[in-house]
Amino acid sequence: MRFLSKYRRHRFAGPLLLLAGLLFVGFGYTVAQAASEEAVLTSSDKATLIAEGKEIFARGCSSCHGLNAEGAGIAPSLIGVGAASVDFQVATGRMPMADMSQQAMRKEPVYNEEETAALAAYVASLAPGPASVTNEELAWERSGDTAEGGELFRNNCAMCHNLAGQGGALTQGKYAPTVMGVEPKHIYEAMITGPQAMPVFADTTITPEEKLSIIKWIKHAENEPALGGAALGRVGPVTEGLLAWTLGLGLLIGIAVWLTTKAR
């Protein structure tokens, strides 16, 4: 007790006490929140997850896809599309659609992870379809082969997604989006479900191992440092030509003007 009474009026006592209090509250909050999250997950078994999903579906999706996901004039039936499709469309923000334009674009997702999982469970419960995957399930880093993946990408994907995976134009304003910065599970799900204009790459066409190789190549291309300097968007000769005319020739003409300026 001597210690406390000796230092309780020390000039650092106040700030230290405040710091200790903040740390206590912070830790406590984090632990309590983690505990409550766990509680949500454990308390919702499959049936309740489906029920939850059905409720979200009725609120957010049924106006276009129909009350029982049977589809309507403006949106397709979701019976049999499977959890993978829901996970891809909802978790990348494509669904719900922002507007009825040429194709759904990637944006900030509207539903969080649990809501997406519930929706996926509901849609999967309607009829069997491709199951969703998680990033952890995909062992692309271990079992993929970058060189083979590149070859597969050039054979199957590059004609729409560009040689460097930067995306490309399709007809009537549709497009193949860039594959850079896409989560591995979403790349995988896109291949097995064929969203929008994309064809389905069934496991008989591209085996699951080959799909992992493609993901590995995409991740490599994404993380490869700019080897030759500024990448100029990696879209090839168009930006190169633009830079040659503007910076290259522009700089040289500027210097030519300077060289021929009369000394005053």
CB-nearer residue toward another protein: 102 or 196:
102
Distance of alpha carbon 176 from alpha carbon 197, whole angstroms: 8
Distance of alpha carbon 76 from alpha carbon 86, whole angstroms: 13
CB-nearer residue toward another protein: 204 or 223:
223
Host H or E run for residue 189: helix 184-193
CB-nearer residue toward another protein: 14 or 241:
241
Distance of alpha carbon 247 from alpha carbon 193, whole angstroms: 44
C-alpha distances (whole Å) from 28 to each of 14, 25, 39, 238, 258 are 21, 5, 16, 56, 68
CB neighbour list of residue 57: distance below 8 Å, 6 or more residues apart: 65, 69, 119, 122, 123
| Minimum separation from the CB atom of position 195 to another protein (A) | 17
CB-nearer residue toward another protein: 67 or 247:
247
| Minimum separation from the CB atom of position 73 to another protein (A) | 23
CB-nearer residue toward another protein: 53 or 149:
149
| Minimum separation from the CB atom of position 108 to another protein (A) | 18
| Minimum separation from the CB atom of position 28 to another protein (A) | 48
CA 71 to chain centre: 26
189 within 8 A of 85, measured Cβ to Cβ: yes
| Minimum separation from the CB atom of position 82 to another protein (A) | 28
Cα torsion 95, 97, 101, 107: sign: negative
Distance of alpha carbon 135 from alpha carbon 219, whole angstroms: 13
| Minimum separation from the CB atom of position 193 to another protein (A) | 21
Identity at 18, one-letter amino acid code: L
Q: Which residues bind another protein (CB under 8 A)?
A: 102, 146-147, 150-151, 154-155, 158-164, 166-173, 175-176, 217, 220-221, 224, 226-232, 234-238, 240-245, 247-249, 251-253, 255-257, 259-260, 262
Q: Which two tokens stand for residue 239?
A: 């930006």
CB-nearer residue toward another protein: 64 or 232:
232
Q: Exposed/middle/buried for 122, CB within 10 Å: 0-12, 13-18, 19+?
A: buried
CB-nearer residue toward another protein: 54 or 211:
211
| Minimum separation from the CB atom of position 264 to another protein (A) | 14
